[in-house]
Amino acid sequence: MNIESSSPLKLFNTLAIDAVAEYFAQPVTMGEVAECLQFAREKMLSVKVLGGGSNVVMADHISGLVLKYRARECEVLHQTESEVTVKVGAGYDWHQFVLECLSRGWFGLENLAYIPGTVGAAPVQNIGAYGVEVKKSIKSVNGIFLSDGRNFCMPAQQCGFGYRESCFKGELEGKVLITSVEFTLSKIADVQIGYAPLDRLAKERGVPTPAQVAEWVIEVRKSKLPSPAELPNAGSFFKNPVVTSEEYLNLLAEYPEMPSYEQSDGFKIPAGWLIDKLGLKGVSFGVVKVHEFQALVLVNDGGSAEEVLKAAQSIRSAVVKGFGIELEQEPRLFN
Ligand code: FAD
Ligand code: NAP
């Protein structure tokens, strides 16, 4: 097992932060993972788990051992005429997995096409897009505890899934390596096209098949979101805040044009709209710029973690000052 020291991770994070890990390894088998954990124990190193690096802000120097687990098996565990349960290695590229499902006639993930990252990270923030969250297709999450290598198999109901949340971002953060995810997918098409861009296309082009939903999602995303390969970014930098009914009515009185979506616990306001309304779209904070078309995306032109976080803090302060709303950062600090 090759464990590199002082390993550059610029190519392993989509913000392209010029980070260096004290140690870095890319195990493929559980035997190799065990070897890495033994190495970390002997050297008394902390262990950090990385996927595709598309939802992290990397510190310039990352202490300890960074593990990027690469297993990418896809095994059918069980199937009936109407559904299939598959177990997928954490290292499988998420978008490739979505395409693989569609090619095999397994449905449910099509709205989540073109999200960067790995299968193993999908449950971590319960990835979501265009009205679908991955939790609805997850049966269980398998992994090991980093402290002692013990296995776990956690049914979806115990994963604490919420809006861009799970226990893997909560009490288990930094404590586990997710090794595979089991999904139950439908063989019967049931397309979700409620979000405006998909609804609009359906009106123009007719009701889509699941594969067409994925094509439309890819088309819309390509037109709105900068590719990290060209403009380094971590997708939405902030979560959409949910405000109480009272706060919502106060804001609406001042901004009648404000978009909002009613939730069980209040009203969701698009964070991108708040940032845009403050005139910050396209504005640069040093080498970090608010994207010109998508105010939720911060583009990093060679900045360090400190510079990215400083820019984010300036935006958060402006939103508190302008609207009295605290934005929550989505990508995790990886240090
Ligand atoms: P990383 O960024 O490597 O890691 C994220 C977190 O998960 C870290 O805390 C890491 O320690 C942990 N982690 C990763 N793998 C494992 C594992 N095997 N075991 C345990 N912990 C692990 N997100 C959405 O929800 N919806 C979107 O529509 C969306 N669009 C995006 C568009 C762009 C252009 C970009 C850059 C990002 C977008 N994201 C979106 C965010 C991101 O792609 C997802 O959160 C994705 O799931 C992160 O996967 P990753 O493998 O890159 O994880
Ligand atoms: P958008 O269509 O410009 O809409 C802005 C926000 O309004 C979205 O974040 C979405 O919330 C919310 N919204 C829109 N229609 C809604 C509806 N019918 N019901 C409830 N909420 C609605 O969004 P966008 O930025 O282009 O992104 C499109 C989708 O991709 C969104 O679901 C978004 O979450 C996802 N995305 C996520 C990331 C990330 O890094 N997390 C990056 C890019 C895109 P929700 O976010 O709750 O869906």
The catalytic position among 54, 236, 260, 304 is 236
Active site residue 164: yes
DSSP H or E segment with residue 86: strand 83-89
Looking at 164, 260, 304, 316, which residue is catalytic? 164
- Strand-pair category, 138-145 with 176-186: antiparallel
Q: What is the pLDDT along the chain (335 residues), one digit of tens a residue?
A: 999 999 999 999 999 999 999 999 999 999 999 999 999 999 999 999 999 999 999 999 999 999 999 999 999 999 999 999 999 999 999 999 999 999 999 999 999 999 999 999 999 999 999 999 999 999 999 999 999 999 999 999 999 999 999 999 999 999 999 999 999 999 999 999 999 999 999 999 999 999 999 999 999 999 999 999 999 999 999 999 999 999 999 999 999 999 999 999 999 999 999 999 999 999 999 999 999 999 999 999 999 999 999 999 999 999 999 999 999 999 999 99
In this prediction, residue 125 carries a pLDDT of: 96
pLDDT for residue 86: 98
* Biggest CA-to-CA distance, the chain: 62
Q: Where are the beta strands (DSSP E) in 99-232?
A: 128-129, 132-133, 138-145, 151-155, 176-186
In the DSSP assignment, the letter for residue 334 is E
Active site residue 42: no
Q: How many helices (H) and strands (E) does the chain have?
A: 7, 19
Looking at all shown ligands, the one closest to residue 9's CA atom is 1
Closest C-alpha to 88, from 129, 114, 118: 118
User: Is 72 a catalytic site residue?
Assistant: no
Nearest ligand for residue 125 CA: 1
The CB of 319 under 6 Å from ligand 1? The reply is no
Helices 210-224, 196-205: crossing angle, 10 deg rounding: 120
Q: Looking at ligand 2, which residue's alpha carbon is closest to its atom 19?
A: 261
- Does any ligand 1 atom lie closer than 6 A to the CB of residue 69? yes
Which amino acid, 82? S
Atom of ligand 2 nearest to the CA of 272: 5
Per-residue confidence (pLDDT) for residue 30, from 0 to 100? 96
d(CA 335, CA 62): 5
**What pLDDT is stored for residue 272 in this prediction?**
98
pTM over the 0.95 mark: yes
CA distances from 4 to 15, 21, 22, 249 (A): 22, 9, 8, 55
Q: In degrees rounded to 5, what are phi and psi of residue 225?
A: -105, 135
Q: Phi and psi (nearest 5°) for 27?
A: -70, 150
